[in-house]
Amino acid sequence: MAGELERLGWSVVATNYLGSGAELDLIAVREGVVRFVEVKARQPGDDSGWEAVGARKRRRLVRAAETWLAEQPRGFLEVAFLLALVRCGPGSWSVEWMDDPFDA
């Protein structure tokens, strides 16, 4: 996923970041904008969107994001989550990006 984000113009500044007892899969920055990326592999028939991440997990992601932001020496213009749904199929895969999938 990091390579895919970089191909889209993002700089990946952290992978598997641990903060406040939760893990952020990726943290990407581009032009003063931060995205906390949650990666979910989906098989045919699985939940298709943000419902793949429950309320408890969302709260943990928010806490980890707040911890990371508190460690940064500067502010950002925009901060949000980005969900990467990786669709795994026989012999192929694709990524569906959901930008700002929930209100944090």
Q: Are 61 and 81 in contact (CB under 8 A)?
A: yes
pLDDT, residue 66, reads: 96
pLDDT over 90 at 89, yes or no: no
Q: Between 49 and 80, where is the model more confident?
A: 80
CATH 3.40.1350.10, applies to 2-99: yes
Give the pLDDT confidence of 27-77 residue by residue, as tens digits.
999 999 999 999 988 776 776 666 778 889 899 999 999 999 999 998 899
Distance CA 74, CA 16 (A): 21
- Say if pTM beats, i.e. exceeds, 0.75: yes
Residue-range domain boundaries for the chain? 2-99
Strand partners, 42: 87
pLDDT, residue 50, reads: 67
